[in-house]
Amino acid sequence: MPADESQAKIKISELYDLVVKYAKQEAIDPLRGAGRWLAFGLFASVLISIGVVIGSLGVLRLVQTTPLGSSNSWSWLRYLITVIICLVVGFVANSRIKRGTLEK
C-alpha cells in the first residue's frame, strides 16, 4: 500500500472523529441541557398550579367568613373578589418572571 493512501485513510478517520465530537458538543449536549431545563419548568408549573388552586380556595373561604360572605343577595360578589385577587397575584407573578436562556 502506498504511503499516500494510508495517510489519506488516517486523515479520513481523523475527520470522522472530529465530526462526531463536534456533533456531540454542538447538538447532543445542548439537548440534554434543554431537557433538564424543561423538566424543572414542568415540575415548577405543577407545583405553582397546585398552590394557585389552594390559595384561591383559601381566599374564597376567607371572604365567606366576612359579613359580606353571609349575604345571599350578594353571593356572586365573593367569587368576583376571589377572581380579582387571583388576577392581581397572577399579574404580579408574571411581571417578576425573567426570560432566561438555556445556556449558563
Query: What are the sequence ranges of the domains in the chain?
Result: 3-95
Write down the pLDDT at residue 85: 93
The proportion of the chain whose per-residue pLDDT surpasses 70, expressed as a percent, equals 86
Which residues touch 30 (CB under 8 Å, ≥6 apart)?
102, 103
pLDDT level of residue 19 (50, 70, 90 thresholds):
confident
- Rounded Cα gap, residues 36 and 30, in angstroms: 10
Mean pLDDT of 42-70: 90
Mean pLDDT of 90-101: 81
- C-alpha cell of 83? 377572581
Contact 86, 54 (CB under 8 A): no
The proportion of the chain whose per-residue pLDDT surpasses 90, expressed as a percent, equals 27
Residue 50 has pLDDT above 90, yes or no: yes
Question: Cα 65 vs. chain centroid, distance in angstroms?
Answer: 36
Write down the pLDDT at residue 103: 58
